[in-house]
């Protein structure tokens, strides 16, 4: 397999947009292509992610539509959907196409738009990613899924609502340093604890927002990457699954797909958790960050809450997690999230992250989770 690098990144402002997914993706993609320093003509394939476009925009077949708006309509496109892990799955497959020698330059990313919908409709569409026979009819929502995980983690490990609140406060503090973030405002522990209940024990500020936005990255072969401004190498990219059904998971306090994908990625890269300098991980809910920091091997099982409380995962801490503000503050346009996380790690490893820069970062980890914790992707990126 050939070495593969990310040579360009582009991310729209996250928040509310009055533009279609195709328009949003095209903006991020054009930025990524210019950042890569290649001609649009150099793109040989587009791996495009979107989740609820069929429901939200009555638009399927968005890949060629986005390519047409971008202005390279003859490039082959493929749409990916693995719920919230969508564009990270696209990134892994783009990497495989380049690593396998089929293409030298591939554009990958995703877009999502849901703020044009009422909250109850968006909540319903997101719940389509849970099982339609057993789970949706019971009235489960995605906050509900992670509330079940939170309750199990609290019962097993004594994790507290205040520890979860620390995750939200930290990610809002980071988001305030990110001009692309949906929320650029700091919050307090009290605000989190006193915010409206969504799905007990999760409250409004435990939850990421609904977000419109897009992100794109350009991946390239080593030969192309060597001529680019600042390549960041994909050291590993691994995917793992776990049962789609919540009722099959024997221990709701763990995300087995995270543990499996992390193990595979560390093995591929020949590195371990101690080699990682900066992390972008899937904090769709505060408890999700706590469980992920354990599953990725950074902290012992049951101690992710303590790590958040002690500030170990803050900028300036021993392992900065989600310097972008994470899904919590940067926002979570679900089909774009994986690519946006990768773009942040690339920016960090190029030492171009400004006031949210992790000093001396050389190796970064990207973790993206889809659906009922059934899909997880973990990639390791390195500046060398």
Partner 1 sequence: MSKVITLQAFFEEARAGRLTGIRCGRCGELAIPPKEFCPACQERAWEPLPLDGRGTIASFTVIRVPPRGRAAEAPYAVAVVRLDEGVSLLGRIVDIPLDALKVGLPVRFRPLVRDNQTVVGFGPTV
Catalytic residue IDs: 84, 332
In degrees, rounded to 5, the angle at the alpha carbon of residue 330 between the alpha carbons of residues 360 and 154 is 90
Q: How far is the CB of 127 from partner 1 (least distance, A)?
A: 5
Q: Which is nearer to partner 1, 106 or 255 (CB)?
A: 255
Q: Which is nearer to partner 1, 30 or 117 (CB)?
A: 117
- Binding-site size for partner 1 (CB under 8 A) equals 39
Answer yes or no whether residue 226 interacts with partner 1 by CB under 8 A: no
**C-alpha dist (Å) from residue 53 to 114, 123, 155, 212, 220:** 9, 14, 38, 12, 28
The angle that helices 21-36 and 62-70 make with each other, rounded to 10 degrees, is 50
Answer yes or no whether residue 354 interacts with partner 1 by CB under 8 A: no
Round to whole Å and give the CA distance between 121 and 115.
Answer: 10
| String marking each residue 279-318 x if it binds partner 1 according to CB under 8 A | ----------------------------------------
Q: Which is nearer to partner 1, 198 or 240 (CB)?
A: 198
Q: How far is the CB of 173 from partner 1 (least distance, A)?
A: 26
Answer yes or no whether residue 176 interacts with partner 1 by CB under 8 A: no
Q: Which is nearer to partner 1, 137 or 360 (CB)?
A: 137
Q: How far is the CB of 132 from partner 1 (least distance, A)?
A: 9
Answer yes or no whether residue 184 interacts with partner 1 by CB under 8 A: no
Q: Count the residues in the chain.
A: 384
Q: Which of residues 190-209 bind partner 1 (CB under 8 A)?
A: 196-202
Candidate segments 38-46, 220-228, 240-248, 312-320, binder of partner 1 by CB under 8 A: 240-248
Answer yes or no whether residue 335 interacts with partner 1 by CB under 8 A: no
Q: How far is the CB of 272 from partner 1 (least distance, A)?
A: 29
| String marking each residue 124-163 x if it binds partner 1 according to CB under 8 A | x--x-----xxxxxxxxx-xx--xxx-xx--x--------
Round to whole Å and give the CA distance between 375 and 384.
Answer: 29
Which positions touch partner 1 (CB under 8 A)? 118-121, 123-124, 127, 133-141, 143-144, 147-149, 151-152, 155, 196-202, 243, 245-250, 252
């Amino acid at each position: 397999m050939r070495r593969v690098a990310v040579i360009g990144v582009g991310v729209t402002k996250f928040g509310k947009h009055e533009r279609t997914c195709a328009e949003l993706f095209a903006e991020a993609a054009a930025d990524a292509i210019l950042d890569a320093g290649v001609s649009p003509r150099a793109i040989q394939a587009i791996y495009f992610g979107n989740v609820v476009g069929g429901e939200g925009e009555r638009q399927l077949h968005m890949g060629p539509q986005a390519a047409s708006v971008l202005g390279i309509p003859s490039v082959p496109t493929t749409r990916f959907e693995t719920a919230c892990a969508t564009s990270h799955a696209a990134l892994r497959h783009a990497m495989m196409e380049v690593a396998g020698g089929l293409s030298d330059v591939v554009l990958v990313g995703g877009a999502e738009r849901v703020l044009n919908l009422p909250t109850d409709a968006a909540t319903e569409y997101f719940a389509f990613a849970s099982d339609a026979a057993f789970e949706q009819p019971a009235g489960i929502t995605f906050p509900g899924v992670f509330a079940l995980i939170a309750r199990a983690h609290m019962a097993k490990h004594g994790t507290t609502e205040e520890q979860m609140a620390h995750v939200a406060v930290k990610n809002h503090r980071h988001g305030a340093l990110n001009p692309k973030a949906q929320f650029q405002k700091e919050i307090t522990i009290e605000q989190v604890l006193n915010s409206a209940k969504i799905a007990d024990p999760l409250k409004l500020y435990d939850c990421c927002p609904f977000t419109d936005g897009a992100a794109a990255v350009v991946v390239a072969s080593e030969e192309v990457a060597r001529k680019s401004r600042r390549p960041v190498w994909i050291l590993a990219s691994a995917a793992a699954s776990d049962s789609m059904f919540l009722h099959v998971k024997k221990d709701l306090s763990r995300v087995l797909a995270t543990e499996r994908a992390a193990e595979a990625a560390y093995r591929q890269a020949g590195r371990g958790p101690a080699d990682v300098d900066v992390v972008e991980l899937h904090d769709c809910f505060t408890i999700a960050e706590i469980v992920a920091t354990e599953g990725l091997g950074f902290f012992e099982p049951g101690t992710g809450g303590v790590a958040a409380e002690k500030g170990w995962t803050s900028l300036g801490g021993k392992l900065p997690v989600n310097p972008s503000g994470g899904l919590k503050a940067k926002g979570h346009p679900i089909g774009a999230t994986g690519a946006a996380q990768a773009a942040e790690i690339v920016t960090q490893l190029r030492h171009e992250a400004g006031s949210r820069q992790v000093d001396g970062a050389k190796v970064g980890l990207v973790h993206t989770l889809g659906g009922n914790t059934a899909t997880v992707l973990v990639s390791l990126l390195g500046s060398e």
